Structure 1
Amino acid sequence: MPTLVSRPSRCLITGAAGFIGSRLRQHFDQAEHSYVAMLRSAAAAARLQAQGSQTVVADLLQAAAVTEALQGCDAVVHLAHGDRGPEATRRLVDAAVAQKVRRFVHISTMSVHGPRPGAEAAREDTARIGRYGEGYSDSKAEQEEIVQAAINRGDLHAVILRPTVVYGLGGHFERQVIRQAQAGEVTLFDEGRGVCNVVFVDDVCDAIEAALVSDAALGQAMFINADRPVSWGEFIRGFASMVEPAPRFVSLSSADAEAYWAAHPPEPVGGLPTRLFRKLRRLAGWRSPVAPWPPLGRVQRETFPITFANEKAKRLLDWSPRVDFAQGLRLSRDWLCAEGVLPR
């Protein structure tokens, strides 16, 4: 069992208005943990303040603002991700080092191992971070490397968590399925046989809380995943079945979709000049042609080949996932009904 240190007295949460960040704030509120929610938008900060959260408005790209936001905080949970993620993470790490924070929990992702990892990526001791020409995964890989470099220099007391597909209580992936189902037709690839490494959002929050106090986890990176994967067919049908009338299911060929994207590669994400150029083109009336297949990222995600282990997180964090997929579906349905996304 890991050695537990005293809990940090006050935690700065970046990305506090996002999907995981919003749920983490609720966890902290219930446990009466002190935190500051860091946001870029004054309007978003005002909404959280009305809910009782302490907030600070700051841009991670502005060093002075980050330093000021960290005042009085001895821990950081870094959830935020944006177009300039590596630069933002570097500034946050530098400020945390200068502030001598006691604990820095960096939320990475399984995507740092690419869209089609081999069997070696199933466990942390053999998994390798790389670059795969995909904007999100490459950015998150660079951010993780920035944190790891600070750990290796002895500058930062940090833990790196790599959640898998986080779902539940309004997550992006189930909302995508529900929107399709409400439109009447739901697509899946190869009958939904791909591996779906899903973990319920509350289990991710539990892992973050454990990472704030576990000495055994310091300097380590680990997957945060459920005990048992499901197939993408199970995931898609589970959420689509919540919609009435029942939608039609259509199985697509991943081989045909990948052949199309190989012949028509999606435009790279690019930097700021590229994004400005695209915006000007759109303002001038240019529209990209509508592809006959779902995006390549979805094809790769839903034909995933491996299952990620969670033994390291269990051992070092003294953590275990509490919500299996059947429970996650029930909790999600209750939440979606309460929010008016589905009828009661």
Structure 2
Amino acid sequence: MRIVVTGASGFVGGAVTRALAEHGHDVTGTGRRDDVQFAHAVYRRWALSEKPPEGLFDGVDAVVHAAALADDWAPRSRALATNLGGTRAVLDRLGDARLVHLSTASVYDPAVPTVRAREEEAPVARYLGSYAASKAAAERELMGRMGAKGVRAVILRPHAVYGPGDTTLLPRLLRAARGGVLRLPSGGEVLHTLTHIDNLVHAVRRALDPASPTGVYNVGDDSAVVLGPVLRELLVRRGITGARIESVPYRTAYLAAGAAERLSRLTRLRPPVTRYAVSQLGLERTLELSRARELLDYRPTPTTLDGARDW
């Protein structure tokens, strides 16, 4: 297959680009950066707000849309321009190609626990940050075109993607653990469906199969885990042996984050924590994976920290 991958200069898009190329596909990765190279794939610079390079979509069989602004404190206008506008830019050039759209489990209701959530439970009407709201808007746009214009698309919803090359989740955790204390709402003693990057790549490959049904699918590791123990083990594997997890009551953490957000709007400085982050860490976030297992033949592996010292 000839495949274009957007967001190839990032963690997820880069992993997808490398894996698809290694499995024999003709892959072109795109991104905003200039200094990106792949051993077995072509890379071309394309910021989604700009005109694409000449011939980028010629003869393309599928597009994996991984580009996104994953920042819950980004201005709403910027988040919509990137996450909704970028999706529209891909859709406008898609032609007859199949689309695999990488969304997020953040489109589920942030105000209540996500308990083995099924795909039909999202998008919802309320969100705590621009990232989730803009990704939900992109899903709505795509679903509308799937219905009205017959776009062939698969939407994948992973939660908390981690693994080698992670530039977001792990770095934030390590920064937060400086000083020897990692403060977590509810102490992290809540269930989460995490998503190893290899499982997400596996889901993308299954979604690209022309025989796989289109639609929306949750993806993640084989089974849910309690977040706190996983984070403790990760810190140990990273050599941070003196750090401990300190529990903060969920309501206390949520109210403190709200106060920090209000102050940040006055100072124009980024808040140290947001309500979105508190809700994602302090409430159960588990996904029902049966649809992907049954219709995509998705076979994820369990949560693993193997090799974490080198991530």
TM range (shorter): 0.7 to 0.9
Shift of 1:245: 4.1
Alignment partner, residue 146 of structure 2: 151
- Report the residue type matching 1:176 in the other structure: R
Matched, 1:185 2:181: yes
TM-score (norm 1): 0.78
1:208 and 2:204 aligned: yes
- Taking the TM superposition and a 5 Å limit, the aligned residue runs for 1:1-344 are 9-41=1-33, 43-44=34-35, 47-48=36-37, 51-62=39-50, 64-65=51-52, 68-82=55-69, 83=78, 84=81, 85-96=83-94, 99-101=95-97, 103-117=98-112, 122-171=117-166, 172-181=168-177, 183-218=179-214, 220-242=215-237, 243-263=239-259, 265-266=261-262, 288=269, 294-322=273-301, 324-325=302-303, 328-333=304-309, 335-336=310-311
Q: Is the Cα contact below 8 Å between 2:184 and 2:248 reproduced in 1?
A: yes
Q: 1:130, 1:234 → 2: CA distance?
A: 33
1:264 CA drift (Å) = 5.1
Q: Distance in 2 between matches of 1:58 and 1:239?
A: 35
In the aligned structure 1, how far is the partner of 2:263 from the partner of 2:147?
36
Structure 2: unaligned runs, 5 residues or longer: 70-77
Please report the RMSD computed on the Cα atoms of aligned residues, expressed in angstroms.
2.6
Secondary structure of 1:302's aligned partner: helix
TM-score scaled by structure 2?
A: 0.86
What percentage of aligned pairs have identical amino acids? 26
- Following superposition, the deviation at residue 205 of structure 1 comes to 0.3
In the alignment, the residues of structure 2 paired with residue 247 and residue 119 of structure 1 have an alpha-carbon distance, to the nearest angstrom, of 28
- Equivalent pair of 2:235/2:241 in contact (CA under 8 Å): no
Amino acid at match of 1:48: Q
State the Cα deviation string for residues 242-298 of structure 1 (Å, max 9, x = none): 224422332222221222334554489xxxxxxxxx9xx9xxxx664x86x633222
Contact 1:186-1:240 at 8 Å conserved across structures: no
Count of aligned pairs: 298
Distance across 2 between alignment mates of 1:145 and 1:94: 15
CA 1:126 to 1:142, structure 2 compared with 1: closer, same or farther past 3 Å? closer
- AA aligned opposite 2:8: A
Q: Does the 8 Å CA contact 1:195/1:302 hold for their aligned counterparts?
A: no
- Please say which of residues 238-247 and 141-150 is displaced more in the overlay: 238-247
Residue identity opposite 1:186 in structure 2: L
Mapped contact 2:100–2:154 kept (Cα < 8 A): yes
Relative to structure 1, the CA distance from residue 151 to residue 267 in structure 2 (aligned partners, 3 Å threshold; closer, same or farther) is: farther
Displacement of 1:305 after TM fit? 2.8
Is the 2:128–2:276 Cα contact (8 Å) retained in structure 1?
A: no
- Distance change in 2, residues 1:130/1:320 (3 Å): farther
Q: 1:150 to 1:165 in 2, by over 3 A?
A: same
3-state SS in 2 of match to 1:188: strand
